[in-house]
């Protein structure tokens, strides 16, 4: 299966000797990542659906730049524009205190800095799609937030997929000591054709840094793999928000390593799935040292022959005493042929901890629905009110008022498209 992908072609075109070595080593070890595929993807046969689309198509570099320009939001203060994995500096606007380069253009000193966040801790050793991304990505975009920098306004990362074959996105983000930044990332298709996109991001948070990261996916018929890998040092804080809507098949990996003491990680997710779409969220949090906190809450609404998957893992190492870890997944099924597979997991080697996990799968509260309808509210509107209230536990965690309003409106728009008559 792997042999048919012609991955050697991508390695042969790589000019950076260090990256070429990384790609070659990944190819040698790719069978190891393939071994875990059967278990990790047993509810999501993504390989079977995309095997003929994961090669690099040279023709995809031709694109309608005017059409893409018209799709770029005009009201964003700062933006990073990427087309089929290639950074477009002329379309981007970057705040001071943030350095953006292609990895191949970095000085040797800066390459040494980014080895903390690139090639350091992605999940390619255990995930076949991350392995393929490591081999096939054309360039790695490096984002460095300098020390003691506070970026008040969010930076939008807008990824355009233009190919009917595949697009590979690779980002390496380094947030230095005592800095704060907020990223809002989305993927937009510039073609109506079915395509496959593969994105891997590695994020390094230095001591006392803070990150807000928003990811939104609304792909129609497209297939999408997204892996975010996070490494946190002492006193750092990360807040991840993942919103997934329609798409043929979407797989999200979120892996967070809390390396030092007093790390804090929040993970919030919401998915509303319709039209036989498939959303798969896999998360891992690894508590390596004491006094760290992780808080994870995902909610989903599934309708119309669609499927939702949630697999969350929390590891608490022996050294990680006084860990506080919470994990929850709640789902509402709106039709008899909707399905959810959910599996929260804990592995604890420490004895002085507070950890909990749980999941629920059910239908709308009929009593609450009857109450609203008895007050003269039509069934569809009453249902929409209950579903909006269900999602509010996630959106209320967004501190930025404008962003919170944006996602509330987006969710409401998606809920109105669900069939719950």
pLDDT value of position 379: 86
pLDDT value of position 308: 95
pLDDT value of position 61: 59
For residue 242, which of 230, 233, 258 has the smallest C-alpha distance?
A: 230
pLDDT value of position 190: 62
What tens digit of pLDDT does each residue of 322-377 get?
999 999 999 999 988 999 999 999 999 999 999 999 999 999 889 999 999 999 99
Q: How far apart are CA 156 and CA 129, in angstroms?
A: 25
pLDDT value of position 322: 97
pLDDT value of position 357: 92
The stretch 197-225 carries a mean pLDDT of 92
Residue-averaged pLDDT of the chain: 89
Q: Between 129 and 69, where is the model more confident?
A: 129
Cβ contact 328:296 at 8 Å = yes
For residue 353, which of 384, 380, 319, 308 has the smallest C-alpha distance?
A: 319
What tens digit of pLDDT does each residue of 38-50 get?
889 999 989 888 8
For residue 390, which of 311, 298, 304, 325 has the smallest C-alpha distance?
A: 298
What tens digit of pLDDT does each residue of 368-394 get?
999 999 999 988 888 888 998 999 999
The stretch 301-305 carries a mean pLDDT of 89
For residue 136, which of 63, 196, 54 has the smallest C-alpha distance?
A: 54
pLDDT value of position 201: 96
Q: Which residues contact 322 (CB under 8 A, 6 or more apart)?
A: 290, 291, 352, 353
Cβ contact 278:306 at 8 Å = yes
pLDDT value of position 189: 74
What tens digit of pLDDT does each residue of 213-263 get?
999 987 777 889 999 999 999 999 999 999 998 778 999 999 999 999 999
The residue assigned the tokens 């697999």 is 311
pLDDT value of position 52: 74
Inform me whether the pLDDT recorded for 152 exceeds 60: yes
What tens digit of pLDDT does each residue of 57-107 get?
655 556 777 878 888 888 788 999 999 899 999 999 999 999 999 998 999
The three state secondary structure string of the chain is CCHHHCCHHHHHCCCCHHHHHHHHHHHHCHHHHHHCHHHHCCCCCHHHHHHHHCCCCHHHHCCCHHHHHHHCCCCCCEEEEEECCEECHHHCECCCCEEEEEHHHCCHHHHHHHCCCCCCCCCCCCCHHHHHHHHHCCCCEEEEECCCCECCCCEEEEEEECCCCEEEEEEEEEECCCCEEEEEEEEEECCCCCCEEEEEEEEEECCCCEEEEEEEECCCCCEEEEEEEEEECCCCEEEEEEEECCCCEEEEEEEEEECCCCCEEEEEEEEEECCCCEEEEEEEEEECCCCCEEEEEEEEEECCCCEEEEEEEEEECCCCCCCEEEEEEEEEECCCCCEEEEEEEEEECCCCCEEEEEEEEECCCHHHHHHHHHCCCCHHHHHHHHHHHHHHHHHCCCCCHHHHHHHHHHHHHHHHCCCCC
% of the chain exceeding 90 in pLDDT: 61
The stretch 290-310 carries a mean pLDDT of 94
pLDDT value of position 119: 64
Residue-range domain boundaries for the chain: 3-260
pLDDT value of position 419: 62
pLDDT value of position 59: 55
Q: Is the CA virtual torsion 413, 417, 419, 421 positive or negative? A: positive
Token pair of 271, please?
Answer: 């998915």
């Amino acid at each position: 299966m792997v042999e048919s992908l012609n991955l050697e072609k991508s390695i042969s075109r790589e000019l950076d000797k260090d990256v070429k070595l990384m790609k070659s080593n990944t190819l040698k070890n790719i069978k190891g990542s393939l071994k875990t595929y059967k278990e990790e993807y047993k509810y999501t046969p993504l390989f079977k659906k995309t095997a003929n689309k994961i090669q690099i198509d040279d023709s995809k570099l031709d694109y309608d730049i005017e059409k893409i320009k018209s799709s770029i939001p005009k009201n964003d203060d700062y933006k990073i524009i990427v087309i089929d994995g290639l950074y477009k500096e002329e379309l981007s606007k970057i705040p001071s205190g943030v350095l953006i380069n292609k990895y191949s253009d970095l000085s040797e000193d800066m390459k040494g800095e980014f080895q903390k966040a690139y090639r350091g801790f992605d999940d390619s050793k255990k995930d076949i799609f991350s392995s393929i991304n490591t081999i096939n990505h054309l360039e790695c975009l490096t984002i460095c937030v300098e020390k003691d920098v506070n970026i008040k306004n969010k930076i939008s990362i807008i990824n355009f997929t233009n190919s009917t074959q595949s697009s590979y996105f690779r980002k390496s983000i380094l947030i230095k000591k005592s800095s704060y930044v907020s990223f809002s990332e989305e993927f937009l298709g510039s073609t109506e054709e079915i395509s496959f996109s593969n994105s891997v991001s590695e994020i390094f948070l230095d001591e006392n840094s803070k990150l807000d990261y928003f990811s939104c996916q609304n792909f129609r018929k497209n297939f999408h793999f997204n892996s975010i890998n996070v490494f946190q040092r002492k006193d750092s804080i990360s807040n991840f928000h993942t919103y997934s809507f329609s798409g043929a098949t979407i797989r999200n990996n979120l892996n967070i390593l809390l390396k030092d003491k007093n790390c804090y990680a929040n993970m919030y997710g919401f998915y509303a799935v319709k039209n036989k779409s498939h959303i798969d969220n896999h998360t891992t949090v690894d508590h390596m040292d004491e006094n760290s906190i992780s808080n994870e809450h995902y909610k989903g609404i599934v309708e119309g022959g669609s499927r939702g998957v949630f697999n969350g893992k929390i590891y608490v190492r022996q050294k990680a005493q006084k860990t506080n870890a919470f994990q929850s997944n709640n789902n509402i099924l709106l039709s008899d042929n909707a399905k959810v597979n959910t599996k929260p997991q804990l592995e604890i080697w420490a004895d002085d901890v507070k950890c909990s996990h749980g999941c629920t799968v059910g239908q709308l509260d009929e009593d609450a629905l009857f109450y609203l309808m008895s007050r003269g509210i039509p069934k569809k509107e009453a249902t929409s009110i209950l579903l909006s209230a269900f999602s509010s536990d996630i959106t209320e965690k967004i501190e930025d008022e404008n962003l919170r309003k944006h996602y509330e409106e987006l969710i409401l728009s998606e809920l109105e498209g669900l069939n719950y008559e």
